[in-house]
Amino acid sequence: MSAADSNTDMRIKLSAIDQSMKWPALFFIISATLWLLAGTALGLISSYKMHNPNFLGNWEWLTFGRTRSAHLNAVIYGWCNNAIFAVGLWIMARLCRTEIRHLGLLIVAGIFWNIAITIGIAGIFIGDMTSVEWLEMPTYITPLLAIAYALIGVWGIIAFRYRQSEHIYVSQWYILGALFWFPWIYSVAQIMILFEPARGTVQSLTNWWFAHNVLGLWLTPMALAAAYYFIPKVIGRPIHSYYLSILGFWTLALFYNWAGVHHIVGGPVPAWVISSGIVASVMMVIPVIVTAINHHMTAIGHFRQVIESPTLRFVVFGAMSYTLVSFIGSTMSLRSVNEISHFTHLTVGHAHHGVYAFFTMIMFGSIYFILPRLLYREWPSKILITCHFWFAALGITIMIVTLHVGGWIQGLEMNNPEIPFIEVMKGTVPWLKARTVSGFFLAIAHLAFAINVFWIVFFRQGQKDVIGTPTLFASKQSR
C-alpha cells in the first residue's frame, strides 16, 4: 500500500482524469453502440441468407456478398475501433495520470472517422467494394480514415509522452504497442494490395498477414490491456505475477505478427513461409499461458466479486475465452488439422470466438466500468445488465459450438470423395439455422446494452442520485 501512494499528492486525481475524458469517451462509446446495432442487423441478415438465399434477394445491394462484407467492416472498424478509442484512451489517460487536452480536435477526428466508415459501408452496398477480405471498403475513403486515425491515435502517444507516473504499467505497453502496430499493418496492406499492388501471391500473403494482425496486434493487445487493468482494479488486489505479464507482452510482440500466414496453409506460396507461420502460431502458446495463469491466479478465490460486478463478469468471460480461442487457433494452424478445418464454417466460428467471446465481451465489461464514472450516474437497470450478460454469453456459446461442430463435420465430408458436394452443403443447413438462432440471442443482448447506454446518457430524469453507492467508489470521495 505504501508503495502505491508514495507520490499521490503530486498526481492528478483519477476522477479529474475521468472528467477530462468525458466528452470524447462518451462520443466514442455512443458511436460504437450504434455501429454494434448496425453490425448485428447486417450479421443477422447474412446469417439468415445462408440457409434462406432468397431472403431480401430482390435488391442487389442486399445480396449476401455485400451484407456479409458490410457486417464485417461495420463491426471491425465501427464497433471495435470506436470501443478501442474510448476504452484504450481512457485507460491510457488514467495510467499516465494526465488529463487529455485539446479535446475538440479529438472529437472532430472521431467524427471524421465515423463519417469515413459510413461512406465506406455505403460504398460496399452500392458495389464499390474491393475483393480483399477485411479491406472491402472502397479505396477513396482510405486517406480520410488514415488522417482520422492519426489524429486519434496520437492522443494516446501524447498522453504517454506527458505521463506523470514513474512506472509504465503493463496495459500501457499493450496500448502503446497497438497504437503503432495498427497504422503500420493498415498502411502496408493498403499500399501492397490496393495502391501499388505487389505481385501475385504476395498479395494474399499480405492480405492474411494484415487480417490476422488486426486481431493479433490491434484488438488483442487492447483487450488484454483492459483485462490487465480491470481484473486487479475491480477485485482490489494486484496482478498475480507482474513479471509474467511483462513477459507476455514481449512474447506477443515477438510472435503474433508472424502467425497470419497460417490462413493460407496449402496455398500456392513457399512452404517455408507457411511453416514459419505455423511455428509462430504454436509459439503463441507462451504468451497465452502466461496471460491465462495471471488472470486465473488473480481472480481465483474471488468468485463472489466476479458475480457481483458487471465489469468482472464480462472481462473474466473474455479472458477465459482468450485462452480457449488461442489454443484452438494454434491447433488449427497445424497442417493436419487445417486440411479439415480450411474452407469450412469452423473458421467463421473461430473468428467470432476471438472477436466476440474474447474482445467484445471485454469491451462490454470496460464500458460498464467507465460510463458511470464519466457521468456520475448509476446504471439505470440491473435487469438489463443481467439480460445483456446471459444472452450474450449463451448466444456466443451456441454460435461457437454449432459452427465448430458443424464446420468439422463439413470438413470431414468435403475430404471424402464418396460424398457429393451438394450433400455436404445440405448437411450444414441445420448448423447454419442454429447460428441464426444464436444471432437472435446476441441481438437481444445488444438491444439490452444499447437501451442501458442511451438511458444512462440521455435520460437523466428519474435516475437515482448515485453518490454513496459502492459502484461509484471514486466519485463518492471526490465530491
User: Rule CB under 8 A: is residue 368 a binding residue for other proteins?
Assistant: yes
User: Rule CB under 8 A: is residue 204 a binding residue for other proteins?
Assistant: no
User: Rule CB under 8 A: is residue 229 a binding residue for other proteins?
Assistant: yes
* Residue from the set 380, 395, 407, 439 that interacts with other proteins by CB under 8 A: 380
Name the residue nearer to other proteins (CB basis): 166 or 418.
166
Residue among 291, 284, 281 nearest 318 (CA) = 291
* Residue from the set 23, 64, 112, 242 that interacts with other proteins by CB under 8 A: 242
Beta strands in 238-332 (DSSP E): none
User: What CA–CA distance (Å, rounded) separates 99 from 371?
Assistant: 17
- The residues, ordered by sequence, that sit 6+ positions from 98 with a Cβ below 8 Å of its Cβ are 12, 17, 159, 162, 163, 164
Judged by CB under 8 A, which stretch of 277-285, 325-333, 397-405, 467-475 contacts other proteins? 467-475
The interface with other proteins within residues 71-130 (CB under 8 A) comprises 95
* Residue from the set 55, 57, 308, 459 that interacts with other proteins by CB under 8 A: 308
In 69-107, which positions are buried (b, 16+ CB within 10 angstroms) versus exposed (e)?
bbbbbbbbbbbbbbbbbbbbbbbbbbbbbbbbeebeebb
The interface with other proteins within residues 145-174 (CB under 8 A) comprises 165-169
Judged by CB under 8 A, which stretch of 51-59, 65-73, 237-245, 418-426 contacts other proteins? 237-245
Assess contact for 189 and 152: CB atoms under 8 A.
Answer: no
Name the residue nearer to other proteins (CB basis): 171 or 436.
171
User: What CA–CA distance (Å, rounded) separates 351 from 358?
Assistant: 10
Judged by CB under 8 A, which stretch of 106-114, 152-160, 258-266, 304-312 contacts other proteins? 304-312
* Residue from the set 38, 75, 217, 234 that interacts with other proteins by CB under 8 A: 234
What is the number of other CB atoms lying within 10 angstroms of the CB of residue 48?
20
Judged by CB under 8 A, which stretch of 52-60, 98-106, 196-204, 316-324 contacts other proteins? 196-204
Residue among 203, 152, 160, 204 nearest 182 (CA) = 152
200 grid coordinates? 501475385
Site size toward other proteins, by CB under 8 A:
58
Name the residue nearer to other proteins (CB basis): 13 or 161.
13
191 grid coordinates? 499500399
Name the residue nearer to other proteins (CB basis): 76 or 472.
472
What is the number of other CB atoms lying within 10 angstroms of the CB of residue 167?
10
389 grid coordinates? 450478460
User: What CA–CA distance (Å, rounded) separates 259 from 216?
Assistant: 9
Judged by CB under 8 A, which stretch of 195-203, 285-293, 327-335, 443-451 contacts other proteins? 195-203
Assess contact for 393 and 317: CB atoms under 8 A.
Answer: yes
What is the number of other CB atoms lying within 10 angstroms of the CB of residue 212?
24
**Per-position x/- string for 245-264, each x denoting binding to other proteins as judged by CB under 8 A, each - no binding:** -x---x--x-----------
* Residue from the set 55, 61, 184, 459 that interacts with other proteins by CB under 8 A: 184
The interface with other proteins within residues 9-48 (CB under 8 A) comprises 11, 13-15
Residues that bind other proteins (CB under 8 A): 1, 3-5, 8, 11, 13-15, 95, 165-169, 180, 184, 188, 192, 196, 198-199, 229, 232-239, 242-243, 246, 250, 253, 305, 308-312, 368-369, 378-382, 385-386, 469-471, 473-474, 477-478
